[in-house]
């Protein structure tokens, strides 16, 4: 669900690519309104099913834009993030979700390569070399590094029964930490949430870092002004359940249910978060 967070940038990215491929003249007079209206229509939609049914058209459009300009970072970032969002959050069929997130991952790799040539061969490198290259990327690569991280995370999520996929988790964490070291802007709340999830995948006794995860969740809530309800849901699911903190679990989820769902550029995610909060509360007596 939270992988949809960066859809505010997608409309602008599409228009950037259209301009680069020769269509900008036709759209120049309406581009600003088009970007604004497309973002608003998706992000402020309170019917996830409608979004689920409509997004494939934009996926095909992104594919065509990448075909027209295969090294354009804006197009590749948009494709990586939207395919990740759709495949990981909105497709119930597991085999299809795996195909879509594999495409997202490929676009994420290509986006990072297009942003910085030194990152083109990251996948075949030992972990220490991977870390060295990622840490040397400049701030102009931050968006692409985020795209790489979330698209890889989406792919891991749909292949969670594959040890080779799970082995990529440390690299995702390195990438997200580096995003937070830059100037991530509106990427920051979701990057914090993913870092919270990654640090709470295992209990402390098995090498997890639940308290660090909690700190990341709390930072994400702070940076979003408490308006992004999906962070509270993941905080309850990933941390509170891991450490068996029923009081925190129920408080967070009840806050989600009591909160105003309609928030600028967050309504869609908040509506989905509310459904998940209700489901988690309903199963709490069984879990705790």
- 202-214 pLDDT, tens per residue? 899 988 999 999 9
Confidence of residue 22 (pLDDT cuts 50, 70, 90): very low
The set of residues, in sequence order, having a beta carbon less than 8 Å from that of 244 and lying 6+ positions away, is 288
In angstroms, the CA 176 to CA 122 distance is 15
Token pair 């869609």 is found at 268
The reported pLDDT for the residue numbered 38 is: 52
- 38-65 pLDDT, tens per residue? 545 666 656 666 767 777 887 888 888 8
CATH of 184-288, one of 3.30.470.20, 1.25.40.920, 2.30.30.90, 2.40.50.140: 1.25.40.920
| Residue closest to 86 by CA, chosen among 60, 110, 68 | 60
- 218-241 pLDDT, tens per residue? 999 999 999 999 999 999 999 999
- 102-141 pLDDT, tens per residue? 999 999 999 999 999 999 988 888 999 999 999 999 988 9
In this model, does residue 32 exceed pLDDT 60?
A: no
Contact 83, 59 (CB under 8 A): yes
What are the start-end ranges of the H helices in 116-141? 127-135
DSSP string, 55-112: HHHHHHHHHHHHHHSTT-HHHHHHHHHHHHHHHHHS---HHHHHHHHHHHHHHHHHHH
In this model, does residue 84 exceed pLDDT 60?
A: yes
The reported pLDDT for the residue numbered 253 is: 98
């Amino acid at each position: 669900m939270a992988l949809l967070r960066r859809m505010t940038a997608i409309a602008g990215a599409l228009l950037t690519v259209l301009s680069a491929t020769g269509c900008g003249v036709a759209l120049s007079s309406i581009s600003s309104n088009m970007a604004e209206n497309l973002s608003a229509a998706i992000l402020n939609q309170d019917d996830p099913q409608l979004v689920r049914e409509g997004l494939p058209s934009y996926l095909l459009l992104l594919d065509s834009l990448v075909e027209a300009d295969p090294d354009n970072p804006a197009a590749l970032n948009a494709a990586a993030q939207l395919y990740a969002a759709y495949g990981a959050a909105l497709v119930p069929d597991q085999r299809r979700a795996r195909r879509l997130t594999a495409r997202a991952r490929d676009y994420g790799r290509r986006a990072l390569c297009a942003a910085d040539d030194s990152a083109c061969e990251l996948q075949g490198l030992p972990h220490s070399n991977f870390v060295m290259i990622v840490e040397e990327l400049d701030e102009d690569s931050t968006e692409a590094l985020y795209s790489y991280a979330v698209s890889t995370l989406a792919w891991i999520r749909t292949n969670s029964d594959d040890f080779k996929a799970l082995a990529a988790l440390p690299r995702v964490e390195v990438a997200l930490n580096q995003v937070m070291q830059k100037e991530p802007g509106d990427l920051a709340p979701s990057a914090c949430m993913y870092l919270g999830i990654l640090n709470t995948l295992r209990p402390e006794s098995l090498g997890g870092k639940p308290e660090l995860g909690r700190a990341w969740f709390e930072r994400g809530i702070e940076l979003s002004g408490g308006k992004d309800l999906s962070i509270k849901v993941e905080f309850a699911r990933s941390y509170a359940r891991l450490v068996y903190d029923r009081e925190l679990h129920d408080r967070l989820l009840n806050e989600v249910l009591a909160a105003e769902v309609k928030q600028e550029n967050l309504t869609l995610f908040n509506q989905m978060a509310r459904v998940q909060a209700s489901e988690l509360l309903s199963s709490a007596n069984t879990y705790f």
